Amino acid sequence: MIHIDSLIEHIAPHSCLGCGRNGPLLCSTCSDEYFEQIQPRCVGCKRLSDHFKVCTNCRSWLPLQSVRVSANYEGIAEALVHSLKFDCRRAAAGPIAQLMASQIVDSDGTLLCPIPTAPSRVRQRGFDHALHITKRLSRHTKVPYQQLLRRHTNVRQLGASRLNRIRQMEREFEAIKQGEIKGKHVILVDDVFTTGATLSAAAKVLRKAGARRVSAVVFAQKV
C-alpha cells in the first residue's frame, strides 16, 4: 500500500527544516547534528534524574514513574511540532516518532496511549496529532497502542492554579476500554510538556481505572 505521506511528497516535495534541501522534512544529517541525547531530568523540577524518573517531590502532583523527553522545545524540534500542529503537515510525525523511539523501554504488558487532543482541535486540523505520532511510534518500536482515554471539551478557566488545572483536566478525561487498562504499564504519548497538568490528569484517570504503572514519553519540553 502506498502511504499517503509518500504520495504527498511526490506532489509537493518537502524541504528539510534544518538545511533547506529538498527531500524529507528532516534529513538524516540534520537529525544527527541537532538531536543529541539530552540529559535525563525530572520533568517537574528539571533536576538531573536517572532514566527521567519523576522525583519523589514532583510525584505528589505528577503521578508518573518517568517522563522521557527527546528534545528541548526550541529550534528544529519546535519547528517540527509547529509544522505538525499548525501547518497540519502530517509528515512531521515521522521524524518526531523516530526521535522518540529510543525512549521506549518495552516490557510485558506495555501499551502506548496517546493523550487525546481536544475534539475542536481535531476538527480544525483534520487529524489528531498525538494519535498520529503514537501510531508511528508503535510501528517503530513494535509496542502496541490503544486509545484508552476519551476527551470531553469543557470550558477552561484560564489562569487557574496548577492543582485546579489538574482537576479541570481530570474532568475532561474518561477512561475507556477498562479491561485493557487493568494491570498494564501504560506509556502516555504527547508532543510537548508544558505545565504537566494534562499528563498528571491522564495518569490519575488511568491509575483509577487499574493501570499497574503509568509513565510517559514526550517529544519536547519547554526550556
| Degrees to nearest 5, angle at CA 21 with 15 and 27 | 80
Pick 42 or 91: Cβ nearer Zn ion: 42
Enumerate the H helices of the chain as residue ranges. Answer: 4-11, 28-34, 56-59, 75-85, 93-100, 119-125, 129-141, 162-172, 178-181, 197-208
Pick 138 or 221: Cβ nearer Zn ion: 221
Is residue 168 helix, strand or coil?
Answer: helix
Distance, CA of 175 to CA of 148 (rounded, Å): 6
Site for Zn ion in 43-102 (CB under 5 A): 44-45, 55, 58
Distance, CA of 73 to CA of 105 (rounded, Å): 22
Span from 11-19, 138-146, 200-208, 214-222 in contact with Zn ion (CB under 5 A): 11-19
Pick 175 or 201: Cβ nearer Zn ion: 201
Q: In angstroms, what CA-CA distances link 43 with 31, 94, 118?
A: 23, 24, 23
128-167 mask for Zn ion (x: CB under 5 A)? ----------------------------------------
Pick 16 or 84: Cβ nearer Zn ion: 16
Q: How far is the CB of 113 from Zn ion (least distance, A)?
A: 23
Site for Zn ion in 193-212 (CB under 5 A): none
Pick 44 or 196: Cβ nearer Zn ion: 44
Q: What is the DSSP string of 79-112?
A: HHHHHHHTS--GGGHHHHHHHHGGG----TTEEE
Q: How far is the CB of 53 from Zn ion (least distance, A)?
A: 9
Q: How far is the CB of 21 from Zn ion (least distance, A)?
A: 6
Distance, CA of 116 to CA of 35 (rounded, Å): 26
Pick 58 or 80: Cβ nearer Zn ion: 58
Cell numbers representing residue 44 in the block: 517537574
Q: How far is the CB of 44 from Zn ion (least distance, A)?
A: 4
Site for Zn ion in 16-45 (CB under 5 A): 16, 18-19, 27, 30, 42, 44-45
Interacting residues toward Zn ion by CB under 5 A: 16, 18-19, 27, 30, 42, 44-45, 55, 58
